[in-house]
Structure 1
Amino acid sequence: MNRDIILLRAVEVAALATHKYIGKKDKNLIDQAAVEALEVILKNEKDFRLKVVNGEGELDEAPMLYVGQILGDLQNPDAKIYDMSVDPVEGTYPAAYNFAGSVAAIAISRENTQLQLPEMYMEKLFVSDEFRDLINLNKGIVEVVKDMQIFSGRRDLKCIILDKPRHNNIIEKLSEMGVIVRMIQDGDVLAAIDVVNGEADFVYGIGGAPEGVLMAALSIASGCKMQSKLVHYKTIWENEKETELRSQIENAWLEKHNIDENTILDDLDLISDPRARFFAAGITAGGSLKPIDYKNGKFYVNAFMASHGIARNIKSVYDIKKVNALKPGIKSIFDKYKR
Structure 2
Amino acid sequence: MNKDIILLRTVEVAAIASYKYIGKKDKNTLDGAAVEAMEVVLKSAEGFSVKVINGEGELDEAPMLYSGQILGDQSNQKHMFDVCVDPVEGTNPAAYNFAGSIATIAISRLNTMLKLPEMYMEKLFVSSQFKDCADLKQGIIACVEKMQAKSQKKDLKAIVLDKPRHTDIIKQFDELGVIVRLIKDGDVLAAIDVVNGEADFVYGIGGAPEGGLMASLAISSGCKMVAKLVSYNQVWPNEKETATRVQKESEALAQAKLSFGQILTDIDLINDPRTRFFAAGITAGGTLKAIDYLNGKYYVSAFMSSHGVIRNIKSIYDMDQINSLKPEIKYLFDKYKR
TM-score range, shorter chain: over 0.9
Conservation of the 8 A alpha-carbon contact between 1:216 and 1:226? yes
Q: Quote the offset at 1:253 in angstroms.
A: 2.4
Matched ranges for 1:256-271 at <5 A: 256-271=255-270
1:206 is matched with 205
Distance 1:125 1:64 in 2: 30
Q: Note if contact 2:10-2:37 (Cα within 8 Å) is conserved in structure 1.
A: yes
Distance 1:225 1:266 in 2: 8
Secondary structure of the corresponding residue to residue 182 of structure 2: strand
CA contact (8 A) 2:36 2:64 kept: no
Deviations 1:303-322 (A, max 9, x none): 00101011100000001111
Name the % identity. Answer: 67
**Partners of 2:77 and 2:190 in 1: how far apart?**
38
Aligned residue runs from structure 1 range 148-159, under 5 A: 148-159=147-158
2:247, 2:268 → 1: CA distance?
23
Distance in 1 separating the partners of 2:48 and 2:329: 19
SS state at 1:10 partner: helix
Partner residue in 2 for 1:255: 254
Cα distance in structure 2, aligned partners of 1:282 and 1:78? 32
Structure 1 counterpart of 2:228: 229
Give the superposition deviation at 1:63: 6.0
Q: Does 1:7 align with 2:7?
A: yes
Shift of 1:255: 2.5
TM-score, normalised relative to structure 1: 0.97
Is the contact made by 2:158 and 2:180 (CA closer than 8 Å) also made in structure 1?
yes
Matches for 1:1-339 after TM superposition, within 5 Å: 1-60=1-60, 64-74=64-74, 76-339=75-338
Secondary structure class of the residue paired with 1:220: helix
- 1:64 & 1:138 partners in 2: Cα distance? 37
- Supply the distance in 2 between the matched residues of 1:176 and 1:216 (Cα, whole angstroms): 29
Give the letter aligned to residue 69 of structure 1: Q
How far is 1:62 from its partner? 5.7
Deviations for 1:206-236, whole angstroms, at most 9, x for unmatched residues?
0000000000000000000000000011111
Q: Shift of the alpha carbon at 1:329?
A: 1.7
Give the distance between the partners of 2:296 and 2:273, measured in 1 at CA.
40
Deviation at 1:57, TM superposition (A): 4.1
Q: Name the amino acid aligned to 1:268.
A: I
Count matched residues. Answer: 338
Provide the C-alpha distance between the structure 1 equivalents of 2:249 and 2:82, rounded to a whole number of angstroms. Answer: 22
What RMSD over aligned residues (CA atoms) do the two structures have, in Å? Answer: 1.1
Q: Kindly indicate whether the alpha-carbon contact (under 8 Å) linking 2:158 and 2:201 is maintained by their aligned counterparts in 1.
A: yes
TM-score (normalizing by structure 2):
0.98
| Residues 32, 64 of structure 1: 8 Å contact kept | no
Q: Which runs of 4+ in 1 moved over 3 A?
A: 60-64
Is the 8 Å Cα contact of residues 58 and 64 (structure 1) preserved in structure 2?
A: no
Deviation at 1:79, TM superposition (A): 5.0
Alpha-carbon distance, 1:338 to partner: 0.4
Structure 2 counterpart of 1:2, which letter? Answer: N
Q: Distance in 1 between matches of 2:57 and 2:262?
A: 26
One-letter identity of the residue aligned with 1:48: F
Whole-angstrom CA distance in 2 between matches of 1:43 and 1:85: 15
- The Cα offsets for residues 105-138 of structure 1, whole Å up to 9 and x where unpaired, read as 0011011111101110000000000000111111
Q: Report SS of the residue matched to 2:84.
A: strand
Q: Please list every run of 5 or more consecutive structure 2 residues that lacks an aligned counterpart in the other structure.
A: none
State the alpha-carbon separation in 2 of the partners of residues 85 and 242 from structure 1.
Answer: 27
Using a 3 Å threshold, how does the CA distance of structure 1 residues 93 and 252 change in structure 2: closer, same or farther?
same
Classify the secondary structure of the residue corresponding to 2:133: coil
